[in-house]
Chains A and B, each alone.
Chain A
């Protein structure tokens, strides 16, 4: 059983194209994260799958069955909204029970199912309350409970954590992870937060300007980003991307010179801040740059260097007490940590 978007296009009446011939296919049971900056089309993709919007072109299929024109209620899909969208006039119990009442489930059965899902989400004590009396985290759980209680095949979540404060967000992230393992359901999760995507997803679909940029497991996305956009979007601080020239197997850009496995010509070199190494003493394989700013984000330290107008960031766990801004420091760019991108298109080379 697979969910597939086939050349799905969505244009809004105001002329913006939210999705541009999107092709995406994933299996039921996965935890798919749609990741991208605002305006990338991720929420639109989610709402198209839900049936809240109709595509302007293309098809959406579930298990080989075309559901493009199927009303939402026949799609077997539940949804958690960004602002929770709880029914303010109904109690928590009635909020969760609502999908069951619509489906005319018998009262005792409703009671049982609501209790069950409420216990799973640890909101069993609040069932009699009204949504206005809930904290953000509790409201979030109620929304999730409501989307899951009738056991739809797919559960959509449109930026469900973005209205929570930082600590609670981490906590709910863990909960969702646990929930997915336990329920073995298909989750489709929309976010702009790469960290959420990394921690939750079985596979991440990175979107940009309505197009699918990369669709892979988190580790692959991190280790082999398809292009400069993905490379810079995933990981904090962002990957260093340095424009330069390769001459005779040596990449040069400003004060940087390092050996690469690339043909001669212009190249964009990428290296993650955490993979640049501090060289204890200058060797032939190292580069010397001047420290511009030092930021201690305990226990790590960020060192930001100036390289002829461009900055290079390094993240290290080693002791940097001795290093001060203005001081030259030797750096090593390990060959296995280097990413090569086409200087013009930004696409990954090899």
Chain B
């Protein structure tokens, strides 16, 4: 009954011809400025276009670029796996820390407003600014954090974080954790606040202690939100560019060259646009896959539960 009613109302709107003009500009804009570029990218990826080499004016080379990418390009693969490691490690840490913080706030703090607002600061800063801040803090000669790290004996006197290959990625991960843990906290906290009370009371009456309630009731009820947080963070982390670009530019060497930085280098430093498009295409592909999972796992699920 209800759906029929909604449908007939929807038809009514369409019949009046109102929805097309309302819808069209948005759709057009997206098509022209995102779908267009996407297909153009896919096309360019099958050419040898390069601004650096005048001989390569964009002749069609089929899947050569992808073949080369998959088979021979070790830098691509190393930066691909580097990115995957970066995503997995940082999102995991952010999730565990963020969840713990959210739980602490939810359980112990009554007036959460000010606290959560202040916690938001790192994630609301422009990523470029975050990169700068940490570059300043980790300066070899006068960085404030460098000074205290040396004082605590964590960092040796002569070395600086961003010039020690072994320290660069852990540091970048730590900074990403610093920036994005509040995001997890904020959303998990919203989830915790919206939990219904009765399932927990029911579990209490069924004899479940705090731990069982956490595992059997809270985690399953939070599952959609957990999936949402992990996917959103995963997608964003996979696209990470700004901070790392500012802090290390992918170096030293290629130690911190994440996929999007590699793509940037191929496109805009080497001006190898055909091959660069192939790299960009791969980045997009991974994001699209993550995105579909997001849609299936989170959005459908929650909209189905809402009805």
> For B153, what are the chain A residues with a Cβ–Cβ distance below 8 Å?
none
Please pick, from B205, B221, B223, B305, the residue contacting A72 in the complex, using a CB distance under 8 A.
B205
Flag whether A78 is at the interface (Cβ < 8 A). Answer: yes
A88 to B206, CA, bound (A): 15
Interface string of B265-307 (1 = CB under 8 A from A): 0000000000000000000000000000000000000000100
Flag whether B204 is at the interface (Cβ < 8 A). Answer: yes
**Beyond A51-B204, A88-B221, A90-B220, 8 additional pairs, beta carbon < 8 A:** A79-B202, A85-B201, A86-B202, A87-B217, A88-B199, A89-B223, A132-B305, A150-B206
| Closest CB in chain A relative to B286 CB, distance in Å | 30
A selection of 18 A-B contacts at a CB cut-off of 8 Å is: A52-B204, A72-B205, A73-B204, A73-B208, A79-B202, A81-B202, A85-B198, A85-B199, A87-B199, A87-B202, A87-B203, A87-B220, A89-B220, A102-B207, A102-B212, A103-B207, A132-B305, A156-B205
Flag whether A83 is at the interface (Cβ < 8 A). Answer: yes
> For A103, what are the chain B residues with a Cβ–Cβ distance below 8 Å?
207
The residue in chain B whose Cβ has the minimal distance to the Cβ of A47 is B201
Flag whether B216 is at the interface (Cβ < 8 A). Answer: yes
Interface string of B191-216 (1 = CB under 8 A from A): 00000001101111111110010001
Contacts known (A52-B204, A89-B221, A89-B223); A73 close to B199, Cβ less than 8 A: no
| Closest CB in chain A relative to B217 CB, distance in Å | 7
A72 touches B204 (CB 8 A): yes
Interface string of A121-138 (1 = CB under 8 A from B): 000000000001000000
| Closest CB in chain B relative to A144 CB, distance in Å | 12
Flag whether A222 is at the interface (Cβ < 8 A). Answer: no
A286-316 interface (Cβ within 8 A of B) = none
> For B209, what are the chain A residues with a Cβ–Cβ distance below 8 Å?
73
Please pick, from A77, A78, A98, A156, the residue contacting B203 in the complex, using a CB distance under 8 A.
A98
The residue in chain A whose Cβ has the minimal distance to the Cβ of B205 is A79
A6-21 interface (Cβ within 8 A of B) = none
Flag whether A115 is at the interface (Cβ < 8 A). Answer: no
> For A90, what are the chain B residues with a Cβ–Cβ distance below 8 Å?
220
A52 to B197, CA, bound (A): 11
Going nearest first, the 8 A-B pairs with the smallest beta carbon separation are A85-B198, A85-B202, A73-B207, A99-B206, A79-B205, A89-B220, A102-B207, A72-B204
Specify the main secondary structure of chain B where it touches its partner: helix
Residue of B207, B212, B221, B305 with most chain A CB atoms under a 10 A cut-off = B207
Interface size bucket, A side? 20 to 34
The residue in chain A whose Cβ has the minimal distance to the Cβ of B304 is A132
Contacts known (A81-B198, A87-B199); A50 close to B208, Cβ less than 8 A: no
| Closest CB in chain B relative to A97 CB, distance in Å | 10
B201 touches A102 (CB 8 A): no
A36 to B305, CA, bound (A): 35
> For A156, what are the chain B residues with a Cβ–Cβ distance below 8 Å?
205
> For B221, what are the chain A residues with a Cβ–Cβ distance below 8 Å?
88-89
> For B203, what are the chain A residues with a Cβ–Cβ distance below 8 Å?
87, 98
A83 touches B220 (CB 8 A): no
The residue in chain B whose Cβ has the minimal distance to the Cβ of A98 is B206
| Closest CB in chain B relative to A102 CB, distance in Å | 4
Chain A residues close to B by CB (< 8 Å): 50-52, 72-73, 77-79, 81, 83, 85-90, 98-99, 102-103, 132, 146-147, 150, 156
The residue in chain B whose Cβ has the minimal distance to the Cβ of A156 is B205
B201 touches A52 (CB 8 A): yes
> For A98, what are the chain B residues with a Cβ–Cβ distance below 8 Å?
203, 206, 208, 216
The residue in chain B whose Cβ has the minimal distance to the Cβ of A50 is B205
| Closest CB in chain B relative to A148 CB, distance in Å | 12
> For A87, what are the chain B residues with a Cβ–Cβ distance below 8 Å?
199, 202-203, 216-217, 220
Contacts known (A83-B198, A87-B217, A89-B221); A147 close to B205, Cβ less than 8 A: yes
The residue in chain A whose Cβ has the minimal distance to the Cβ of B220 is A89
The residue in chain A whose Cβ has the minimal distance to the Cβ of B212 is A102
A283 to B220, CA, bound (A): 75
A52 to B206, CA, bound (A): 12
Interface string of B51-87 (1 = CB under 8 A from A): 0000000000000000000000000000000000000
A50 to B205, CA, bound (A): 7
| Closest CB in chain B relative to A113 CB, distance in Å | 14
| Closest CB in chain B relative to A157 CB, distance in Å | 11
A227 to B204, CA, bound (A): 38
Interface string of B212-239 (1 = CB under 8 A from A): 1000110011010000000000000000
A77 to B203, CA, bound (A): 12
A146 touches B206 (CB 8 A): yes
Residue of A51, A72, A147, A156 with most chain B CB atoms under a 10 A cut-off = A72
> For B202, what are the chain A residues with a Cβ–Cβ distance below 8 Å?
79, 81, 85-87, 146
> For A78, what are the chain B residues with a Cβ–Cβ distance below 8 Å?
205-206
A339 to B206, CA, bound (A): 46
> For B212, what are the chain A residues with a Cβ–Cβ distance below 8 Å?
102
The residue in chain A whose Cβ has the minimal distance to the Cβ of B223 is A89
A99 to B209, CA, bound (A): 11
The residue in chain B whose Cβ has the minimal distance to the Cβ of A77 is B205
> For B305, what are the chain A residues with a Cβ–Cβ distance below 8 Å?
88, 132
| Closest CB in chain B relative to A165 CB, distance in Å | 16
> For A132, what are the chain B residues with a Cβ–Cβ distance below 8 Å?
305
Please pick, from B199, B206, B223, the residue contacting A102 in the complex, using a CB distance under 8 A.
B206
A51 to B206, CA, bound (A): 12
B199 touches A99 (CB 8 A): no
The residue in chain B whose Cβ has the minimal distance to the Cβ of A146 is B206
| Closest CB in chain B relative to A277 CB, distance in Å | 48
